[in-house]
Amino acid sequence: MPLLCAPDGRRLSKREHDLDLGVLRQTLTAGQLLGKLAFLTGLLDRPEAASAAELTREFDWTHVFTKNIFVNSVFFHR
C-alpha cells in the first residue's frame, strides 16, 4: 500500500498539519476526494468523483501502485 508523501519525500501526517480534513471538506466533496485518491493509487484512470460503493465494486489489488505517491496541496483543490 503506497503512502502519500509531500514533495520533499516525508510522509503526509496530521501531526505535521498536512492536508487538513477541514480544508479538504471546504474544497472537495467526499466523492471528489475519493476519486482523486483512487486515481493517485491507480484504481481510476482519471481523477473523477466516485463513491465508496463504486470503488469497492471495481477494487483489484493488482491495480494498486506499490510505490509511494508524491503530492502537493494543489492536487486536492477542485
Q: How far apart are CA 25 and CA 57, in angstroms?
A: 25
Domain boundaries, the chain: 4-8+19-76
Identify the helix (H) or strand (E) that includes residue 6.
none
Q: Is the pTM of this model over 0.85?
A: no
Cβ(40)–Cβ(4) below 8 Å: yes
* pLDDT score at 23: 74
Q: How far apart are CA 55 and CA 78, in angstroms?
A: 20
Cβ(2)–Cβ(71) below 8 Å: no
Q: Which stretches of the chain drop beneath a pLDDT of 50?
A: none
In order of 4, 28, 43, 71, 72, the CA distances from 62 in angstroms are: 19, 28, 9, 22, 26
